[in-house]
Chains A and B, each alone.
Chain A
Amino acid sequence: MSTFPISIPRPVHPTGVWGWITTIDHKRIGILYGITAFIMFISGGIEATLMRIQLAGPELDIVSAAVYNQLFTMHGTTMIFLAIMPLSAAFFNFVIPLQIGARDVAFPRLNAFSYWTFLGGALMLKLSWIGGATDAGWFGYAPLTSVAQNPGTGIDFWIISLQVLGVASLAASFNFIVTIINMRAPGMTMMRLPLFTWMSFITAILLVLAFPVITVALIELTFDRYFMFNFFNVANGGSVVLWQHLFWVFGHPEVYILILPAMGIVSEVLPVFAKKPLFGYKTVVLAGAIIAFMGWMVWSHHMFTVGLGAVANAVFTVTTMLIAVPTGIKVFNWIGTIWGGSIRFTTPMLYSLGFIAMFLLGGISGVMHAVSAHDAQQQDTYFVPAHIHYVLFGGAIMAILSGIFYWFPKYSGKMYSEKQGKISFWLIMLGQNVTFFPMHFVGLDGMPRRIYTYVEGMGWEFWNGVATGGVFILIIGFLLVIDNIGRNWRNGKPAPADPWDARTLEWSIASPPPEYNFEEIPVVRSLDDWWATKQGGAHKEIPASGGSGDEGHGIHLPQPSYWPMVTAIGLFIAAYGVVFNDLIVPWGIAAIGLVIGFVGVYAWSFEPVNDPEEDSTH
């Protein structure tokens, strides 16, 4: 039924690089996401290291003020949009279908499109270093982003690549919402969903509701920059505060988009290594939902010093303090889970415990910001970076590292080195506290954030030196992590299907899982069904290793496709065309990109999901 005029032969069982390029297998896409995002994490880490070296002592001149501005802007944008979000997306992709007992996501080709679009957006942002990257801070406050203040292409690259990344995130989130609602195995009711899947579900809902707001804000900024519109043009009555509102209406749900998947990972790891069911499953789910709901009512706490007025500040103080309650409930539930358990201190468990401790510290400084009077002292000082690094590094990254080790046997089929993993944990744990804790001191001592240097005698030299030293401990820790993962992925000991004696469905199938995941779609009878199955003495044969495709099982999987990538490439070209809109023919490159994108979409929608020979599908 391939009727599209330009139909080209479909990739059939491609191997090697083409196999990865045309893949629509959620597990492979998950791995692609993970590796790409980890590389981006390293690049963001390099940017941070350069900043810390510059700040190691007073009046150093290792990077210029201009480069320093680009460094902190790119570091923030990279870590949030190119590292933590896609690292979470890597787990969504790999884990969710396995946890709900599905053979793939609801829209496998859309999933591939998400990844390639993300890659395009990520490359676009990072390549903007050539010719000057964005330098207006990761929240790009107006009027720093106006043409008058910032005529270069750095801001344009930032705007357009964020739009491209937004498309990728939205497509992925729609996909996971439908997957989680509609692809659950028989008996897998919503209240039997593993916690990680639950938190991912809430994250996806938050994302589809929050991202359109930043899309609009960026469109407005684009029109201001390209066509001299007046959105943030104070001379014509525009308000720079509107940008702050729109940014944080998106930005605050965004911080829960970053942390909820991390909470989900921790809620998976703790019960497994404490050999106890999660304490208060329903409460944890409900707390997650309440956080997501209340996340919409607190955005102006980022703007306490703008001058919104006493009433607004009081209201947002109260809502911000309230949102700490469901978060606190979760922490108590995690502690309740490990309390009295028979704990195994494996690497993932250590990272999860580290998460609880570090996230709690970040949460406490968060509640300190919540008091608007107190916040006025902390606004724009190093106290704020200290807070955000405790919640996003000590929180999100620690949980992601926990997940990287926890699911390592599943995605690689190998075992990592436990000893090396534990050493890396202690190094990273030590390193982050040495790096980020002194920021509290210099922050309260009045050191502003985003300054490229400081003069001697301010009393900031010692703690800045200490913080820079901590970075090198972190670097050693991460080198050990990379070595552990990289070496053992190739040469590690083969992993059994269920090395941790775990609780959820992904551990009931071989490591790594066969392409079709479940030979037989499981029937779920309870929460933690795989654990219950094992306890019930029911013996279940796990195939030793995965085969490929339909070998003898008669399982028809969606076939690989070129079109998601073609569409993503079209979008990528169009995005570049918007930045360089006056090259050769005005808007010509953007138009070419759009045409390629349209061809991709059309060919995609005419391409049958399944076998090309079969005539039954659309």
Chain B
Amino acid sequence: MSQDLSGDAHTGHPTAGQYFRIAVILCVITAVEVGIFYLEFLGHWMIPILFVLSTGKFALVAMYYMHLKFDHKLFTYMFVAGFVLAAFVIGFLLILFGVYT
């Protein structure tokens, strides 16, 4: 049987200092996002850049604050299944509506 990982403090979870550092990174990324937003010369490149930066933020919160990095893989699968499927449905609907109009 596998190890119990349901939220014990002593299974290699980050310390308060690490949590704080991640918060700093999150804020920096957000600041960069807002900054990039005002750089008009980026044109259409803005979308992929903002996309990647947001994905990074999302991943940081999910992995560290939600402990997915340290927890059982099953939890990751459950969450990612919903997330990926949602992204798939959004993408497909956008394509279909593009075709439709």
Given contacts A307-B100, A309-B100, contact A181 B74 (CB under 8 A): yes
A241's contact among B74, B88, B89, B100, by CB below 8 Å, is which? Answer: B100
A173 touches B (CB below 8 Å): no
A312 touches B (CB below 8 Å): yes
B96 touches A (CB below 8 Å): yes
A300 to B97 Cα, complex, angstroms: 12
Once the chains bind, are A213 and B89 in contact (CB under 8 Å)? yes
Which residues on A sit within 8 Å (CB–CB) of B52?
A: none
A613 to nearest B CB, angstroms? Answer: 27
Q: Mark B58-101, 1 if CB is under 8 A from A, else 0.
A: 00000000000000001000000110010011000100110110
Once the chains bind, are B85 and A308 in contact (CB under 8 Å)? no
Which residues on A sit within 8 Å (CB–CB) of B85?
A: 209, 296
Interface SS majority for chain B? helix
Which residues on B sit within 8 Å (CB–CB) of A311?
A: 99
Which residues on B sit within 8 Å (CB–CB) of A209?
A: 81-82, 85
A245 touches B (CB below 8 Å): yes
Minimum CB distance partner of B95 in chain A: A312
B99's contact among A205, A239, A242, A312, by CB below 8 Å, is which? Answer: A312
A308 to B96 Cα, complex, angstroms: 7
Q: Mark A293-323, 1 if CB is under 8 A from B, else 0.
A: 0001000100000011101100000000000
Q: Mark A464-487, 1 if CB is under 8 A from B, else 0.
A: 000000000000000000000000
Given contacts A296-B88, A307-B100, contact A245 B93 (CB under 8 A): yes
Given contacts A245-B93, A249-B89, A296-B85, contact A308 B74 (CB under 8 A): no
Query: Number of A interface residues, CB 8 Å?
Result: 16
Which residues on A sit within 8 Å (CB–CB) of B100?
A: 241, 307-309, 312
Which residues on B sit within 8 Å (CB–CB) of A242?
A: 97
A241 to B85 Cα, complex, angstroms: 21
B72 to nearest A CB, angstroms? Answer: 10
Which residues on A sit within 8 Å (CB–CB) of B99?
A: 308-309, 311-312
A310 to nearest B CB, angstroms? Answer: 9
Once the chains bind, are B96 and A312 in contact (CB under 8 Å)? yes
Minimum CB distance partner of A210 in chain B: B85
B7 to nearest A CB, angstroms? Answer: 14
Minimum CB distance partner of B74 in chain A: A181
A213 to B85 Cα, complex, angstroms: 11
Minimum CB distance partner of A205 in chain B: B81
Which residues on A sit within 8 Å (CB–CB) of B82?
A: 209
A474 to B64 Cα, complex, angstroms: 59
Among the interface residues A181, A245, A307, which one has the most CB atoms of the partner chain B within 10 A?
A245
A181 to B81 Cα, complex, angstroms: 16
Minimum CB distance partner of A300 in chain B: B96
Which residues on A sit within 8 Å (CB–CB) of B89?
A: 213, 249, 296
A308 to B98 Cα, complex, angstroms: 10
A311 to B95 Cα, complex, angstroms: 11
A307 to B101 Cα, complex, angstroms: 10
B43 to nearest A CB, angstroms? Answer: 28
Q: Mark A425-441, 1 if CB is under 8 A from B, else 0.
A: 00000000000000000
A245 to B93 Cα, complex, angstroms: 8
A211 to nearest B CB, angstroms? Answer: 12
Minimum CB distance partner of A253 in chain B: B85
Minimum CB distance partner of A245 in chain B: B93
Which residues on B sit within 8 Å (CB–CB) of A307?
A: 100
Which residues on B sit within 8 Å (CB–CB) of A300?
A: 96
9 nearest CB pairs, A to B: A309-B99, A312-B99, A209-B85, A249-B89, A312-B96, A308-B100, A245-B93, A308-B96, A308-B99
What are some 18 contacts across the A-B interface (CB < 8 A)? A181-B74, A209-B81, A209-B82, A209-B85, A213-B89, A242-B97, A245-B93, A249-B89, A296-B85, A296-B88, A296-B89, A300-B96, A308-B96, A308-B99, A308-B100, A309-B99, A311-B99, A312-B100
A308-B96, A308-B99 given; name 9 further pairs at CB < 8 Å: A209-B85, A241-B100, A242-B97, A245-B96, A296-B85, A300-B96, A307-B100, A308-B100, A309-B100
